[in-house]
Structure 1
Amino acid sequence: MGKVKKTRKNTFNYSKNRKKLKRRARNKTAPRIACDEIRKAWDDSRSVASNLAEMGLAVDPNKALSASAHMDTGTEQKQIKKPYVVQELKAAASVPSKKTMGISSDMVLYVRHMVENYGEDYKAMARDEQNYYQDTPKQIQRKVNLYMRHHPDEYKALLTARTKP
């Protein structure tokens, strides 16, 4: 007869605190900084508070505001070693965002049809046969207002074309 191969089961180690080990491992890993300006100036050997203090940023804005309100003007300010970070952040914030929510082409066609035929009579629009989703007059008004915000020139042209015979 052959030998029986003995396998040892993996047993759970009750003496280790898994929650604490996971927390320590998470704290050891470097944070993923989404902001490019801050990531470039970040020093991994320093703490979060000292990194942000060097950049002229606050760790806790509530404490920073309450401290600045109670501080005298003659007191000593903290040394900001990396002032360019704040300048870059201000420059990035001042650039207008081009991300706007668009309108689907189906909705554009729907609103154009409604405005061409009914102008601003939302109750009549609600009874139109192209109102497949049975929108209420208020819902149609919201859609028209959304179209008006995104395409103001086209909306004015639609209204003027409707009023001219």
Structure 2
Amino acid sequence: MPKAKGKTRRQKFGYNVNRKRLNRNARRKAAPRIECSHIRHAWDHAKSVRQNLAEMGLAVDPNRAVPLRKRKVKAMEVDIEERPKELVRKPYVLNDLEAEASLPEKKGNTLSRDLIDYVRHMVENHGEDYKVSRLRCPGPFAA
């Protein structure tokens, strides 16, 4: 069987190709990693973003999800047409997100353990005499 033309050439290393830029561009074009674990586990790669989020009960565009009502024209009850509700096939994602959001927030503004021990030591030894405590024991955080 004859081979396709151009397939018999041996492979050569491309010295003029910037591998770092090549990898960076490939990483940019690849699909981004979804940070939320609940959404990531329920994601179907065969479907579009809009379809995936609609199945989870989430909205792609908040302006379309909650439209502003026009106040100029008052519509009669007969004229109001309701949009068909999209079917939520994965309600557990929405429930998990709501449960996670309702948890109390963890306080993260505490000082380091070293700094707390140092301040406790200075207060026990010197009390509120700030000048003496600075002159006698500059400590690990002094400039």
- Which amino acid is 1:131 matched to? P
* One of 74, 84, 103 as aligned partner of 2:92: 84
Q: TM-score, normalised by structure 2?
A: 0.55
1:91 to partner: Cα distance? 0.7
Contact 2:122 2:133 in 1 (8 A): no
Contact 2:59 2:65 in 1 (8 A): no
Q: TM-score, normalised by structure 1?
A: 0.49
Structure 1 gap segments, 5+ residues each: 1-6, 13-17, 136-165
1:86 to partner: Cα distance? 1.0
What aligned pairs does 1:97-112 form with structure 2 within 5 A after superposition?
100=108, 103-112=111-120
How many residue pairs were aligned?
Answer: 115
Q: Distance in 2 between matches of 1:129 and 1:66?
A: 66
- Which amino acid is 2:89 matched to? K
* CA deviation profile, 1:85-111 (whole Å, cap 9, x unmatched): 111111122223557466444312211
Task: Give 1:114's aligned residue.
Answer: 122
- Which amino acid is 1:34 matched to? E
Which one has more relative contact order, counting CA pairs under 8 Å at least 6 apart? Answer: 2
* One of 103, 106, 129 as aligned partner of 1:95: 103
Q: Structure 1's 112 and 46: CA in aligned 2 closer, same or farther, altered over 3 A?
A: same
Contact 1:114 1:125 in 2 (8 A): no
Query: Percent of aligned positions with the same letter in both sequences?
Result: 41
Contact 1:126 1:134 in 2 (8 A): no
Root mean square deviation, CA, Å:
3.9
Q: Is 2:131 the partner of 1:124?
A: yes
Q: 1 or 2, which has the higher helix percentage?
A: 1
Structure 2 gap segments, 5+ residues each: 1-9, 16-20, 71-79
